[in-house]
Amino acid sequence: MEKGIFNNFYKDLINYFENGLPASRLTEPGWLSEKREAAFNLFKEKGFPSRKNEEWRFTNLERFLADDFKFRVQNGADKVSAEIEDFEASRIRIVNGRFAADLSDPLPDGMTFMDTSAALSDPRFAGKFGSIADDRESSMLALNTAFARDYSILHIAANAIIKKPLHISHIYTEQTGPSFIPYRTLVIAEKLSEATLVETFHSDAAAPVFVSFVSEQQIDESAVFHSHMINTLGENVYFVQHREVLQFRNSVLNNSNITLGDTPLIRNDLNFRLQGTGTETNLLGAYLLSGGQHVDNHTLVDHRMPNCNSNELYKGILQDKSHAVFNGKVFVRPDAQKTNAFQKNNNLLLSNQATVNSKPQLEIFADDVKCSHGSTVGQMNNDALFYLKARGIGEETARRLLMEAFVFDIISRLEIPALREYTAGLLKRKLHTDNLVIA
Amino acid sequence: MLNINDLQASVEGKEILKGISLRVNAGEIHAIMGPNGSGKSTLASVLAGKESYEVTGGNVLFEGKDLIEMAPEDRAREGLFLAFQYPVEIPGVSNINFLKTAITEIRAYKGLPPLSSREFMNLLKEKQELVELKTSLVNRSLNEGFSGGEKKRNEILQLAMLDPKLAILDETDSGLDIDALRIVANGVNKLRTENNAFMLITHYQRLLDYIVPDFVHILYDGKIIKSGTKELALELEEKGYDWVKEELSVQASHSL
């Protein structure tokens, strides 16, 4: 047996799967039941990953999984403000993992969104669930495969150029008791398509919520896919995400991953597998942490083919007793000649009690490549602080200005103005600078 | 306006200022000259309130208030301005928002409401012409990627915007080509009134061809060893700092 975590939550889950399967499971396609069975066995054997697992060395899940999480039927009381001001977009809401049709807009031609039953009955996507995120070692992925209650598919048709972004709001509203919400989406961007997906994460939960969210994405030949994740989750949501992206020849993927909420735990596993030649992958990340927040970003860019470019920049600020983990793997496989791969992680550590574990990890097996990686952990620049103060700007304001500037470096790279405004607003709210005149 | 009395200061335990006394009145321009390492920039930093300098003796009154007791931001709000020798680059903080924040904080300190956007932009436009700084630079991140001359002109723009009582220019002339020097000097001359004062810290006499000082002080080894009028600067230019050092040692041997 592995050295996993086998707590009460684990025991409940095992019992639930073996004895208490809901009726909906019985009508599922056979291929899915088989996948769930296999995944369940893996999870049962490994348990939740403990700190003995190299990938979880700096994130102690046990601490966050102490509540008595259950599957619950949430009432969709949705008072959460999940809008982005002045944002021209089609909106879809996923409330507690489930597609909320009544709160969602019709989509433009070439873009289709399917809820669980539509997704599972569409023969085009039979067997797709779990075929992109197919890591057979990850027990957290297996947990989701075995238990994902809801499943949706976003499909972008070949050659469709969709100007209007899609905004998916993920909202968690549990009110009754500690709740477990596992769900999954699949994104298929067919060849020569272009689309933008903005995902925002919100909560208004009175009780603790443990979210397991998996997104599998397939970006076909010459498709362009812009994806943004903005996490504004509140104080009692524990959020674990696994995102597996397959990129085919000449495709472009842009991803931003911005954390400006108050959630105690975020763990993102973002894996980008470059399956074809000539791809481009741009990754941006920002986090501003306070209190006892713990945010762990694991990214993997896997260069498997020649002539691919990847670029990654993550920046974060840590205050109070917060803890950030950045683990950025870049693999350049033997066939991946002429790779350009760049990665950077910069941190501003503003408290004696805050911790950063930054681990850039570049593994190169090809000999004709350009790669670099770097990581910094620094403190407030005292010369800059003095400069601001010498112009009459008070200590507090000056510090916040500098913090804002540090993160704004990432936010300013977002291409959608409404999104820049929105994230800048979240940043100011978190820094308490929203009543200052600085724009 | 400014009354420095036997000021002593050290950095990391090393004594740099060894008893400086100086009085600056409204309407005056004082030049502080001296060789490298004489303490000129330390004097500027101590007056502006840089934390790494420790005041070990003496006192400084600014408009009758104890300057040394004040936080750097309060000194600025009271009307003291330091044009930095090496302006700091701050990526991500736009020049324009920085100025707006500074003006708002200074006005709030004086119990005044913030300027409206229009008032601010009008003021900015007016002062920008004074230092001939392109709008593209004003909209950029603070000093980021600015040339040496642009940084110095940006300091003078800030000076013009904040309209201080006392402006200390710390080697603002160093690293400037003659055109930039003229622009900077021209700006200062236009900003000069009978209600404000300037302290020009410089190594060379060149700046003083363009901004004519009322008084010239020579700082050497942490002390003002000679004061005079603008002629002193010319004499210094002609004879070099060695002349002052020699005079000093002659005086020293006399007093023995």
For B87-152, the DSSP string reads PPPEEEEEHHHHHHHHHHHHHHHTTPPPPPHHHHHHHHHHHHHHHT--HHHHTSEETTT--HHHHH
Q: Which residues of B196-234 are buried (b: 16+ CB within 10 A; e: fewer)?
A: bbbbbbbbebbbbebbebebbbbbbebbbbbeeebebbe
Q: What ipTM was estimated for this complex?
A: 0.94
Checking if the pLDDT of A436 tops 60, the result is no
- Report chain A residues whose CB lies below 8 A from the CB of B73: 389-390, 392-395, 398
For the stretch A85-106, pLDDT in tens is: 999 999 999 999 999 988 899 9
- What are the C-alpha distances in Å from A413 to residues A61, A184, A284, B226? 33, 28, 9, 56
pLDDT for B233 equals: 86
pLDDT for B134 equals: 79
For the stretch B176-208, pLDDT in tens is: 888 889 988 999 999 999 999 999 999 888 889
Interface probe for B, chosen from A386, A388, A391 (most Cβ of B below 10 Å), is: A391
Measured CA to CA, the distance from residue B227 to residue B216 in angstroms comes to: 6
Residue with the larger pLDDT of the pair A438 and A166? A166
**Arithmetic mean of pLDDT over chain A:** 93
pLDDT for B253 equals: 63
Interface probe for A, chosen from B67, B81, B105 (most Cβ of A below 10 Å), is: B105
For chains A and B, CB pairs below 8 A equal 86
End-to-end CA distance of chain B: 37
**Strand (E) or helix (H) holding B190:** helix B178-191
Question: Is B76 in contact with A391 (Cβ distance < 8 A)?
Answer: yes
For the stretch B10-40, pLDDT in tens is: 999 899 999 999 999 999 999 999 888 899 9
User: Which candidate from A392, A404, A437 shows the least CB-CB separation from B73?
Assistant: A392
Question: Is B73 in contact with A389 (Cβ distance < 8 A)?
Answer: yes
pLDDT > 90 in chain A, percent: 86
pLDDT for B251 equals: 67
Pick the CATH number of B2-255 from 3.40.50.300, 3.30.43.10, 3.10.180.10, 3.30.2020.30: 3.40.50.300
Task: Report the chain A residue with the minimal C-alpha distance to residue B82.
Answer: A390
For the stretch B54-100, pLDDT in tens is: 999 999 999 999 999 999 999 999 999 999 999 999 988 889 999 99
Question: Is A437 in contact with B100 (Cβ distance < 8 A)?
Answer: yes
Minimal Cα–Cα distance from B162 to chain A, Å?
8
pLDDT for A174 equals: 78
Minimal Cα–Cα distance from A411 to chain B, Å?
10
Cα-only R_g, chain A: 21
Would you place residue B246 in the very low, low, confident or very high pLDDT band (cuts 50, 70, 90)?
Answer: confident
pLDDT for B5 equals: 95
Contact A386, B50 (CB under 8 A): yes
Average pLDDT over residues A296-317: 97
- SS3 assignment, position A380: coil
Measured CA to CA, the distance from residue A434 to residue A431 in angstroms comes to: 8
Task: Report the chain A residue with the minimal C-alpha distance to residue B78.
Answer: A392
CB contact, 8 Å: A161 with chain B? no
- SS3 assignment, position B32: strand
The structure tokens listed for A180 are 């477990």
Would you place residue A133 in the very low, low, confident or very high pLDDT band (cuts 50, 70, 90)?
Answer: very high
The structure tokens listed for B214 are 């009322």
pLDDT for A437 equals: 43
Question: Hey, CA dihedral for B176, B177, B182, B183, is it positive or negative?
Answer: negative
- SS3 assignment, position A328: strand
- What are the C-alpha distances in Å from B95 to residues A152, B103, B155, B157? 46, 12, 11, 10
The structure tokens listed for A15 are 């019992």
Interface probe for A, chosen from B47, B70, B89, B93 (most Cβ of A below 10 Å), is: B93
Measured CA to CA, the distance from residue A60 to residue A7 in angstroms comes to: 13
For the stretch A14-39, pLDDT in tens is: 999 988 776 667 788 999 999 999 99
- Report chain A residues whose CB lies below 8 A from the CB of B97: 437-439
Contact A366, A339 (CB under 8 A): yes
Strands of A150-156's sheet in order across: A111-114, A150-156, A179-189, A209-219, A237-247, A265-274, A294-303, A323-332, A355-364
Minimal Cα–Cα distance from B190 to chain A, Å?
21
Would you place residue B247 in the very low, low, confident or very high pLDDT band (cuts 50, 70, 90)?
Answer: confident
Q: Looking at residue A272, what DSSP letter applies?
A: E
Contact A95, A181 (CB under 8 A): no
Question: Is B92 in contact with A387 (Cβ distance < 8 A)?
Answer: no
- Report chain A residues whose CB lies below 8 A from the CB of B113: none
Measured CA to CA, the distance from residue B120 to residue B107 in angstroms comes to: 12
Question: Hey, CA dihedral for A68, A70, A76, A78, is it positive or negative?
Answer: positive
Measured CA to CA, the distance from residue A352 to residue A126 in angstroms comes to: 52
Residues 6+ apart with CB under 8 A from A309: A279, A280, A281, A339, A340, A341
- SS3 assignment, position A417: helix
For B158-187, the three-class secondary structure string (H helix, E strand, C coil) is HHHHHCCCEEEEECCCCCCCHHHHHHHHHH
pLDDT for A2 equals: 59
Can you give the residue ranges of every domain in chain B?
Answer: 2-255
Measured CA to CA, the distance from residue B90 to residue B144 in angstroms comes to: 6
- Report chain A residues whose CB lies below 8 A from the CB of B100: 437-439
pLDDT for A19 equals: 86
- Report chain A residues whose CB lies below 8 A from the CB of B49: 389-390
Strands B29-33 and A111-114: unpaired
Interface probe for B, chosen from A376, A386, A407 (most Cβ of B below 10 Å), is: A386
The structure tokens listed for A50 are 């403990």
CB contact, 8 Å: A387 with chain B? yes
> Comparing A9-18, A20-29, A342-351, which segment has the lowest mean pLDDT?
A20-29
For the stretch A163-220, pLDDT in tens is: 999 999 999 997 788 999 999 999 999 999 999 999 999 998 888 999 999 999 999 9
Would you place residue A370 in the very low, low, confident or very high pLDDT band (cuts 50, 70, 90)?
Answer: very high
Q: Where are the beta strands (DSSP E) in A143-289?
A: 150-156, 166-172, 179-189, 194-203, 209-219, 224-231, 237-247, 252-259, 265-274, 280-289
Question: Is B73 in contact with A394 (Cβ distance < 8 A)?
Answer: yes
Minimal Cα–Cα distance from B197 to chain A, Å?
17
DSSP per-residue string spanning A112-163: EEE-HHHHHH-GGGTTTTTTSS--SS-HHHHHHHHH--EEEEEEE-TT-B--
- Report chain B residues whose CB lies below 8 A from the CB of A394: 73, 105
Measured CA to CA, the distance from residue A327 to residue A325 in angstroms comes to: 6
Interface probe for B, chosen from A346, A382, A389 (most Cβ of B below 10 Å), is: A389
pLDDT for A435 equals: 47
Question: Is B71 in contact with A389 (Cβ distance < 8 A)?
Answer: yes
- What are the C-alpha distances in Å from B79 to residues B107, B136, B232? 11, 28, 29
Chain B: residues touching A (Cβ < 8 Å) = 48-51, 71-73, 75-77, 81-82, 84, 87-88, 90-94, 97-98, 100-102, 104-106, 109, 114, 141, 158, 162
For the stretch A242-283, pLDDT in tens is: 999 999 999 999 999 999 999 999 999 999 999 999 999 999
pLDDT for B135 equals: 81
Checking if the pLDDT of A73 tops 90, the result is no
Chain A, residues 389-428, CB within 8 A of chain B, namely: 389-395, 397-398, 401-402, 404-406, 408-409, 412
Q: Looking at residue A277, what DSSP letter applies?
A: T
